[in-house]
Amino acid sequence: MLKIYGVYRSRATRPLWLLEEIGKPFELVPVIQSYRLAEPMAPGAPTNTLSPEFLAVNPMGSVPSMEDDGFILHESLAITLYLARKYGGEIGPRDIPEEGSMVQWSLFAVTSIEAPALKLQSAKDETDEGKAEIGVAARTLKRPFDVLEKHLSANSHLVGGRFSVADVNVAEVVRYAQGHTPLFDSRPALKAWLEACQARPGFKAMWDKRTAEPA
């Protein structure tokens, strides 16, 4: 059976959401991030990213990882793109140009959006330093968010006029910045697209499981 190593409170949300969309059975092998544990190497500690049994699967010690009929793959976006192509039907690419576009949007999200979006999510606006970090991150996101706004003003989805793995990958990165409402209030197409993605039953099922997981 297909296995996903990780937890819902991690970048594993990307393949886990995709799997909800396509209805592919899988086994979730719980692997928690070591930094969330006071003593990750203590006897009886839950399996984590420093555990020898997980390092035997992924020597980098990062989640998620995937095993599919003996084939092991790491990195969340590589996993989603693989699953979409193999099992996703219309969520995956219909042809090589669509596959290229799906890869392009996925890489665009992690190279142009993820770092400043994570900064927006984690920075505290109670301090001058935090406010400055938020201002820099928001300014950094203006150009890539404008790119998305322009595209989504003319297209219902990122690729092929339908919901696809590209929407999963990009929406899960854009989500990190969702708490900074000015970025979205000034970009109605982007806001509407993200809300539509998150209204899908697949996302809701994934998010309910994430919410139920211990923080």
Q: What pLDDT, on a 0 to 100 scale, did the predictor assign at position 126?
A: 75
Say how far apart CA 46 and CA 152 lie, in whole Å: 43
Q: What pLDDT, on a 0 to 100 scale, did the predictor assign at position 72?
A: 98
Q: Per CATH, the architecture of 93-203 is what?
A: Up-down Bundle (1.20)
Q: Is 93-203 the same fold as 3-90?
A: no
Q: Are 123 and 133 in contact (CB under 8 A)?
A: yes
Q: Lowest-pLDDT range, 42-56, 80-94, 114-128, 132-146?
A: 114-128
* Per-residue pLDDT reduced to its tens digit, 120-172: 999 887 788 888 999 999 999 999 999 999 999 999 999 999 999 999 999 99
Q: Are 79 and 14 in contact (CB under 8 A)?
A: yes
* Per-residue pLDDT reduced to its tens digit, 161-193: 999 999 999 999 999 999 999 999 999 999 999
Q: Are 61 and 2 in contact (CB under 8 A)?
A: no
Phi, psi torsion values for 74, nearest 5 degrees: -120, 175
Q: What pLDDT, on a 0 to 100 scale, did the predictor assign at position 130?
A: 83
H helices of 126-187, in order, are: 128-154, 165-174, 181-185
Q: What pLDDT, on a 0 to 100 scale, did the predictor assign at position 103?
A: 98
Average pLDDT over residues 49-58: 98
Tell me the fold of 3-90: Glutaredoxin (3.40.30)
Q: Give residue for tokens 């693989």.
A: 82
Which residue, among 10, 9, 14, 26, has the nearest Cα to 165 in the 3D structure? 14
* Per-residue pLDDT reduced to its tens digit, 35-47: 999 999 999 999 9
Average pLDDT over residues 10-30: 98
- Domain coordinates in residue numbering, the chain: 3-90, 93-203
